Chain A
Amino acid sequence: MSDENQVMSTGDRLIYMANQIARNLATQPDAEAATAEHIRAFWSGDMRARLVALAADRPDALSPVAAAALRRIAG
């Protein structure tokens, strides 16, 4: 984050959260599956759906692990 006083938009926050989860689960045996499972278990359906839409609009915003996890969720 820059040194500006700002609050993330909800979309930015969802992307940030997904990347943060993926980054913290990176050392798990199957990081993609672990990330997908975590998001399924703890995020509401609306949040998941919105993240899927955001990923379609901003394909580079998600880390590779988070993006792969999201494909599992969307699939």
Chain B
Amino acid sequence: MSFARETDHGTPPAVATGKTVTLTIDGQSVTLPEGTSIMRAASLLGGSIPKLCATDSVESFGSCRLCLVEVEGRNGYPASCTTPVAEGMVVRTQTDRLKQLRRGVMELYISDHPLDCLTCAANGDCELQDQAGAVGLRDVRYGYDGATNMGQAKDQSNPYFDFDPSKCIVCSRCVRACEEVQGTFALTIENKGFESKVSPSQGEDFLGSECVSCGACVQACPTASLIEKAVVETGTPDRAVVTTCAYCGVGCTFRAEMRGEELVRMVPWKDGKANRGHSCVKGRFAWGYARHRDRILNPMIRASVDDPWREVSWEEAIAHTASEFRRIQAKYGTRAIGGITSSRCTNEETFLVQKLIRQGFGNNNVDTCARVCHSPTGYGLKTTFGTSAGTQDFDSVMQSDVILVIGANPTDGHPVFASRMKRRLRQGAKLIVIDPRRTDLVKSPHVEAEHHLPLRPGTNVAMLTAMAHVIVTEKLCDEAFIRERCDWDEFADWADFVSQPARSPEAIEPLTGVDPREVRAAARLYATGGNGAIYYGLGVTEHSQGSSTVMAIANLAMATGNIGREGVGVNPLRGQNNVQGACDMGSFPHEFSGYRHVSDDTARGAFERAWGVTLDAEPGLRIPNMLDAATDGTFKGLFVQGEDILQSDPNTHHVAAGLAAMECVVVQDLFLNETANYAHVFLPGSTFLEKDGTFTNAERRIQRVRKVMAPLNGHADWEIVQLVANAMGLNWTYGHPSEIMDEIAALTPTFAGVHYDRLDAEGSLQWPANDAAPDGTPTMHVDGFVRGRGKFVVTDYVPTDERTGPRFPLLLTTGRILSHYNVGAQTRRTANTAWHPEDRLEIHPSDAENRGLKDGDWVTLRSRAGETTLRALITERVAPGVVYTTFHHPETQANVITTDYSDWATNCPEYKVTAVQVMASNGPSDWQQDYAEQARHSRRIAPLEAAE
């Protein structure tokens, strides 16, 4: 793709009413939706009315007066951005009088703008420059001295963009983008007249303000007033490639704007159906890790983890890997090795890893990082609805009337979707938040939850069952929906169960700690408030009853008829970029791609015929089972692609013991991560910028990942897996990831219609995409559930065995923060550390006072599993008795604290409930110091021997 700016129609599309009007613009007749602006109409006709304050990402403003037009029969010169088209209207966009007026306006702008175009970073990419040309400006009668702001200092505090007040034309596009697109309201115009200027928050600099660095303001700025530092340093891009972000499960698409082989900036793609032209700080700016000095670019091996690494050729590394795996199998048995696929890698790479294990290793010992996040979603939604996937697309939220968010913090974890959700809330939708913490959604500018139910961690099932109690006993169910779509007898059993007095909000208050009146009010609102949509995250799944909670959510949606149309549904917010895809691709040890059990003879037979081997009909080992088997001496070899189980999985001591017990651990990653401390082979990986493939986001949307630069390590990840497979004798011959997708489509009924040519032509497809749904499926279960009739499942509350007591009186819950992603392997290697240089422990003021703690003090955090130290952040975001931290930094290793307890159905760890004690500390624990030394020792790379 060559470089061309995306077309800016000036104003957003009209809200659809189904009506159209016909008008004439500059002699051309056009029929358009009612409500379209004249500016947009002219643009759609191929013209362009001069503009400065208008851009189609925000509502029209009508301040710059450059877009004036003449309308026959009307007095004056209306602004085309704020004037809607009308039936029979005759518009002229270019007349002598309009030229004169526009030049006059432009003269005023230029009289107060520095004319340093040749040295300006936006030279050639500046709308002010373009518009001066468009209106034919040749002179400025007022001189160039204006009351410019040229003396004002630039605000360069933000690590990714600069703000130069002297170049600001006070068009307010940035302010409106912050309000309308991002929903943060961090910017304002302060002062008046020539003194007017953009100001973040209360006169603070950008870094210290409420600004979340989403980049919407930079994107909206028509000049170089807000501009990426990368453009300042590198120059403007000369080509662009559309690709998909490798951070969270929203799956934003971006134009990777390049100058040669160098990435200049990532600009959110307006046609992206997941992000609709918006971005967050991670996707927009935090891609510098791709060229970070810590990247390992050469394969390495070592006999023992006590040895330094030795750089070797790809041939030697691959041969050694295959040889070791075959040696282990010969000695300990076929099932003594396994592998882990990555939710950060592409569908094609994930498919190949599970194929390597099933076809090459000859067993089903494959698992994925979804084990520790959304495996309960797979179990719960497959049981109740028939398939493991969210029911809606992201656009659906704009049709919701009541939004219930449980166990999710989308403003931090899924910020681009959160912006969309907040936009809907500002339009009047009601919000219910069920979360132990007072997350930003509970109250932020122009958004406030109708009900916040701050339940005690671990009581989700009791809470949701109490809401069901209210809905059933107050006869708020949608009986017609249930009779038509669900199994009535199962509903009746469930209704009897939830109706029992022991399930009432009053009865469960001692468990949840939530005012029963609030629970009743929230339940009534969800059941009767119109379209009710549920969004949930890891605060639902990462519990000993994670799967039960997912099923309890599904029960609520079915009972109220909130399934099968826009605006409703059950929506898991996936953590990593390709969690959905990794699960779809057969990464679990019990099922093939498309969620078909390995014991299913028909499905297994199809794979056996395609791959020419007999496949194991027995489920394999999950990650925790592999680690247990390793400590028992029966599991000896592990292939880990793009995953850092030592940092991300619970009970670090146990993970370390399992890894240490293995004879061959192969890590394929960008960096020497924590797991690599226990590895014997390191295969350098490639970033999402360096390979082709697809990711599938949380709305089941399959999108292309496109290579924008050559892999620094020499191979895309799928090529490396193919090298290993062939070294093990499998004879794979893939020449391009599109061929892998063709195989996926041939073997996976829900992907049957997914091919690269269609993805390239249509931008994306939401599975199922097959003969029954040729254009994909934005909304699931429209005419019936995938499993036939929706299944109500009785979900009895079973308390976790992790209990507080005198020694461990507080409950720890963990999560993540906006600026970091998962274990931080990528974001810690970017300037995002400016916002979050370390993990902190959030603790309520009363709990802090009881312990004599001040904000910023070092504290020891201790559980039955282990202890670490970190600094305290005293805040009322957490309730008394609850503490919270993130797991982004290996120096903290929050998972030293978390325990082995896990979801009963899937073994998803119970990260969200750990009994702990907190006490003052003087600094890092002995364990942290020992670990730091061990990590340093393990990461040694032997110097290359001099050539003879």
A residues contacting B by CB (< 8 A) are: 1, 3-8, 10, 13, 17, 20-21, 23-24, 26-29, 38, 41-47
Chain A CB within 8 A of B335 CB: yes
Contacts of A47 in B (CB 8 A): 621, 625
Bound together, the chains give a CA A45 to CA B866 distance in angstroms of 32
Chain A CB within 8 A of B864 CB: yes
Q: Can you report 25 A-B residue pairs in the complex whose CB atoms are below 8 A from each other?
A: A1-B801, A1-B864, A3-B864, A4-B864, A7-B651, A7-B657, A13-B628, A13-B900, A17-B904, A20-B544, A21-B905, A23-B798, A24-B904, A27-B794, A27-B795, A29-B493, A41-B590, A42-B619, A44-B589, A44-B618, A44-B619, A44-B620, A45-B618, A45-B619, A46-B629
Contacts of B545 in A (CB 8 A): 24
Contacts of A29 in B (CB 8 A): 493
Contacts of B628 in A (CB 8 A): 10, 13
> What is the number of contacts between chain A and chain B, taking CB atoms within 8 Å?
72
Bound together, the chains give a CA A10 to CA B621 distance in angstroms of 13
The answer to whether B900 touches A8, judged by C-beta atoms less than 8 angstroms apart, is yes
Query: A7 is contacted by which of B548, B590, B900 (Cβ under 8 Å)?
Result: B900
B residues contacting A by CB (< 8 A) are: 335, 364-365, 493, 497, 544-545, 548, 589-590, 597, 599, 618-621, 625, 628-629, 631-632, 634, 651, 653-654, 657, 794-796, 798, 801-802, 805, 807-808, 864-866, 900, 904-907
The answer to whether A24 touches B905, judged by C-beta atoms less than 8 angstroms apart, is yes
Chain A, residue nearest B807 (CB): A3
Bound together, the chains give a CA A45 to CA B634 distance in angstroms of 14
Identify which of A1, A8, A26 gathers the most chain B CB atoms within 10 Å of its CB: A1
- Known contacts A6-B864, A26-B796: does B497 contact A21 (CB below 8 Å)? no
Q: Which 10 A-B residue pairings sit nearest by Cβ, starting from the closest?
A: A10-B628, A27-B794, A24-B904, A20-B904, A45-B618, A27-B796, A3-B807, A7-B654, A10-B632, A44-B621
Chain A, residue nearest B494 (CB): A27
Bound together, the chains give a CA A35 to CA B597 distance in angstroms of 17
The answer to whether B904 touches A43, judged by C-beta atoms less than 8 angstroms apart, is no
Chain B, residue nearest A21 (CB): B904
Bound together, the chains give a CA A8 to CA B365 distance in angstroms of 22
The answer to whether B798 touches A24, judged by C-beta atoms less than 8 angstroms apart, is yes
Contacts of B497 in A (CB 8 A): 27
Bound together, the chains give a CA A25 to CA B782 distance in angstroms of 30
Bound together, the chains give a CA A71 to CA B301 distance in angstroms of 47
Bound together, the chains give a CA A40 to CA B802 distance in angstroms of 27
Bound together, the chains give a CA A3 to CA B863 distance in angstroms of 9
Query: A10 is contacted by which of B620, B629, B796, B802 (Cβ under 8 Å)?
Result: B629
Contacts of A44 in B (CB 8 A): 335, 364-365, 589, 618-621, 625
Contacts of A6 in B (CB 8 A): 864
Bound together, the chains give a CA A63 to CA B247 distance in angstroms of 44
Chain B, residue nearest A25 (CB): B904
Bound together, the chains give a CA A13 to CA B599 distance in angstroms of 25
Bound together, the chains give a CA A65 to CA B907 distance in angstroms of 20
Chain A, residue nearest B545 (CB): A24
Bound together, the chains give a CA A44 to CA B622 distance in angstroms of 9
Query: B653 is contacted by which of A7, A8, A17, A46 (Cβ under 8 Å)?
Result: A7
Contacts of A13 in B (CB 8 A): 628, 900
Bound together, the chains give a CA A43 to CA B905 distance in angstroms of 10
User: Apart from A44-B364, A47-B621, what 6 extra A-B contacts exist at CB < 8 Å?
Assistant: A4-B864, A5-B865, A20-B544, A41-B619, A42-B590, A42-B905
The answer to whether A43 touches B619, judged by C-beta atoms less than 8 angstroms apart, is yes
Contacts of A17 in B (CB 8 A): 904, 907
Taking the closest CB of chain B, its distance from the CB of A51, in whole angstroms, is 12
Contacts of A24 in B (CB 8 A): 545, 548, 796, 798, 904-905
Chain B, residue nearest A24 (CB): B904
Contacts of B900 in A (CB 8 A): 7-8, 13
Bound together, the chains give a CA A21 to CA B545 distance in angstroms of 10
The answer to whether A3 touches B805, judged by C-beta atoms less than 8 angstroms apart, is yes
Chain A, residue nearest B490 (CB): A29
Bound together, the chains give a CA A7 to CA B874 distance in angstroms of 32
Contacts of B625 in A (CB 8 A): 44, 47
Taking the closest CB of chain B, its distance from the CB of A12, in whole angstroms, is 10
The answer to whether B794 touches A28, judged by C-beta atoms less than 8 angstroms apart, is yes
Contacts of B618 in A (CB 8 A): 44-45
Contacts of B651 in A (CB 8 A): 7
Taking the closest CB of chain B, its distance from the CB of A73, in whole angstroms, is 13
Taking the closest CB of chain B, its distance from the CB of A72, in whole angstroms, is 16
Identify which of B493, B651, B864 gathers the most chain A CB atoms within 10 Å of its CB: B864
Contacts of A10 in B (CB 8 A): 628-629, 631-632
Chain A, residue nearest B862 (CB): A5
Taking the closest CB of chain A, its distance from the CB of B740, in whole angstroms, is 27
Taking the closest CB of chain B, its distance from the CB of A67, in whole angstroms, is 17
Chain B, residue nearest A11 (CB): B632
Chain A, residue nearest B493 (CB): A29
Bound together, the chains give a CA A28 to CA B551 distance in angstroms of 13
Chain A, residue nearest B806 (CB): A3
Contacts of B621 in A (CB 8 A): 44, 47
Identify which of A13, A24, A45 gathers the most chain B CB atoms within 10 Å of its CB: A24
Bound together, the chains give a CA A20 to CA B796 distance in angstroms of 13
Taking the closest CB of chain A, its distance from the CB of B631, in whole angstroms, is 7
- Known contacts A6-B864, A26-B796: does B905 contact A38 (CB below 8 Å)? yes
Taking the closest CB of chain A, its distance from the CB of B627, in whole angstroms, is 9
Taking the closest CB of chain B, its distance from the CB of A66, in whole angstroms, is 12
Chain A, residue nearest B634 (CB): A46
Bound together, the chains give a CA A68 to CA B793 distance in angstroms of 22
Bound together, the chains give a CA A38 to CA B794 distance in angstroms of 16
Contacts of A5 in B (CB 8 A): 864-866
Bound together, the chains give a CA A16 to CA B865 distance in angstroms of 17
Bound together, the chains give a CA A72 to CA B605 distance in angstroms of 27
Bound together, the chains give a CA A8 to CA B657 distance in angstroms of 13
